Amino acid sequence: MCGRFTLTTTPEEVAQHFGLDEIPLLSPRFNVAPGQPIATLARAPEGARRVLTLRRWGLIPSWAKEPKIGNRMINARIKTAAEKPSFRGAFRKRRCLVPADGFYEWAARPGGAKQPFHIALPERRCFAIAGLWESWRDPAGASIESCTLLTTSAHAKLREVHDRMPVILDPADYASWLDPRLGDEATLARLARSAPAEGLELHAVGRRVNDPRFDDAACLAPASGPG
């Protein structure tokens, strides 16, 4: 599962990493939570150019009767996304990149309390989580664009914290992942391989991140004591 992540990378670095024509208007995010608008990248309808769009985190299927179903659709398993009615259309035609520079997971500890960890690449480098997006219309005609993050089995290095992790794409595969003409499930599954375990670093952080109302640098402060 991936229920929180960070994007503190500068807009200039995001534009460079993802090959954007313009520098996006993004503020540092230290505790991105479900239900919030998040940055996503998809191909422009007229070509291969990448466009950044804010979409609600929690995918609302086009056939849903009400948007609250998105609260249960923040993640989709890569092994079953192509088959699930909620995700299969988006998996084939509406894939996206979700810029991030880290994500949080919680490890169980004696006594029931959970210790949060921030997991990132060295120097908190920017990366892309594989995502799917969808457009939903209410009876009045208003539309909501939403998205979900794909997850996979955690690397051995991370299993002491959690058994799931987001799918982190190789930058060399960004263009293929975004290409709506690519619909072969086996190829898509191959693209959706995760970053190498040795590249990820775990840092125990304080429990401030547990509350989505907090979204500041203090969320990344080291844990003050043993978990």
The verdict on whether 2 is a catalytic residue reads yes
Contact between residue 87 and residue 59 where contact means Cβ atoms under 8 Å apart: yes
The verdict on whether 96 is a catalytic residue reads no
Q: Which residues contact 53 (CB under 8 A, 6 or more apart)?
A: 39, 40, 41, 42, 145
Task: Kindly name the residue from 22, 46, 105, 134 that is annotated as catalytic.
Answer: 105
Ramachandran angles phi, psi of 31, nearest 5°: -160, 65
For 130, the token pair is: 């594989």
* Residue 44 CA: distances (Å) to CA of 48, 143, 187: 6, 18, 22
Interatomic CA distance for residues 81 and 65, integer angstroms: 21
Kindly list the catalytic residues.
Answer: 2, 105
